Structure 1
């Protein structure tokens, strides 16, 4: 199993990822694309997704993009994020495209663009900018006994 496969499997094993029915479309170093259906249970109006679900898919895409650049055994977690919503999220599903803005040793800045998909129509509905705290594997070896 590659580290990218491990990352995908780790994310999809999270209960919230299952609730959102996330699906990876693309996964490459520094780039992640994730989709999720627009479910009635996540809408505040008929067919219009609630902002929390939009933030969630954007966060998963952005922070996962940063995680793809970590060394084997590394992980990360969101410590800050801002989402700007500028169009209703209506359609059949969302696609979030995550990328890395700046990869540091301790912190990574990452972003995601979120699109609502309805047939051939694609509406850019949100942008997220986030910071992830990186947890790198120890290079010092095992602790002394």
Structure 2
């Protein structure tokens, strides 16, 4: 969604800062590799504690990465003083994810004043290339922060 305009000029620093301050994000240990208006990419290194018994990323982790990527993409389009929260998401797991990294690419489908609809695709990255392993549709509730 490269044609989108970010109403907050500091979105590229603010979104990663807010997201990475969340305990769940800190536990996962991902980082942002791209932050643009309506479009983000996060990279999750493979870690044993995020896997099932056979070394594949656990499905809930893939869902969390999709949620963080889509929500972050939506967050890039919020005005100053606003945040968002997930109210609904649907994840379809399409293939196992076992590579050294997983990449989640979030994008805004339909921004709105109250609700923003976003999506994310999650890829397992290995030497041979990327494999689409999950896709998600996410609804975010936009919330104006109370003045401090």
Relative to the length of structure 2, the TM-score reads 0.89
Give yes or no for the alignment of 1:62 onto 2:67.
no
CA distance in 2 between partners of 1:24 and 1:125 (Å) = 19
Shift of 1:4: 2.3
Q: What are the superposed Cα offsets for residues 44-64 of structure 1, whole Å, 9 maximum, x if unpaired?
A: 133201011000111000011
CA distance in 1 between partners of 2:80 and 2:65 (Å) = 24
- Per the alignment, residue 116 of structure 1 pairs with 124
Give yes or no for the alignment of 1:80 onto 2:81.
no
Residue correspondences, number: 139
Residue in structure 1 matching 2:141, options 123, 133, 143:
133
User: SS of 2:77's equivalent?
Assistant: coil
Give yes or no for the alignment of 1:13 onto 2:21.
yes
CA distance in 2 between partners of 1:126 and 1:26 (Å) = 19
CA distance in 2 between partners of 1:116 and 1:92 (Å) = 8
Shift of 1:137: 5.3
Q: Indicate conservation of the 8 Å contact 1:107/1:131, yes or no.
A: yes
- Unpaired runs of at least 5, structure 2: 1-8
1:33-48 matches, cutoff 5 A: 33-48=41-56
- Bigger Rg, which one: 1
